[in-house]
Amino acid sequence: MTSDSAARLLQDRAVLWSMGELSAPDLVGAACDALVSGLDSPTLRRLAALTRAEAAYDVRELLPGVLDELGLVCPPPGSTAGQEAAARVLCRRALRGELSPRALAFWAHRSHGHELPLTARLAELDDAYGTIEYGGPTAAGLDAEVTVEARRLAAGP
């Protein structure tokens, strides 16, 4: 893994953590992965050294310093920008096959309902999965539509 891809992965995991989609110990694991991949900074080393018990308390304090030292950004927790960034991260994961199209649509619907304009189409597609057994669209067709939407969203900023 290149240092650029390690930085992107660390930033993505920071976004997911800030939105409650990733645990603090998992973020510590991401910091370890980043170090192994060649990223380095004093605060990144401190973050990577946290125990599982310490992570729950210290990630919030250390993460801003890590991001600053590495020139990475993470939207504020709970912000619309953070919700949109998390959606894009999960879309990229779905496109890599780490998350099924149906799971992506379900996540968008569960997390944001139809309220977040960026993910509203995914929520509609999640609704459509519920009509399959009643002669609605096929699962394969919906999976394809979710994949198209994931590509569109992943290509965003």
Q: What is the pLDDT of residues 134-154, one digit of tens each?
A: 888 999 999 999 999 999 999
- More confident call, 4 vs 142: 142
Mean pLDDT within 69-86: 92
Look at residue 2 and tell me whether its pLDDT is greater than 90. Answer: no
Look at residue 49 and tell me whether its pLDDT is greater than 80. Answer: yes
Averaged pLDDT score across all residues of the chain: 93
Q: pLDDT (tens digit, 9 = 90+) per residue, 85-100?
A: 999 999 999 999 999 9
Look at residue 3 and tell me whether its pLDDT is greater than 80. Answer: no
Mean pLDDT within 3-16: 90
Place of tokens 């930033």: 11
Q: How would residue 1 be classed by pLDDT, with cut points 50, 70 and 90? A: low
Mean pLDDT within 26-53: 95
Buried b (16+ CB within 10 A) or exposed e, 86-95: bbbbbbbbbb
Q: Looking at residue 60, what is its pLDDT?
A: 92
Look at residue 157 and tell me whether its pLDDT is greater than 80. Answer: no
Q: Looking at residue 55, what is its pLDDT?
A: 94
- More confident call, 66 vs 2: 66
Identify the helix (H) or strand (E) that includes residue 143: helix 139-154
Q: Looking at residue 77, what is its pLDDT?
A: 82
Q: Looking at residue 151, what is its pLDDT?
A: 97
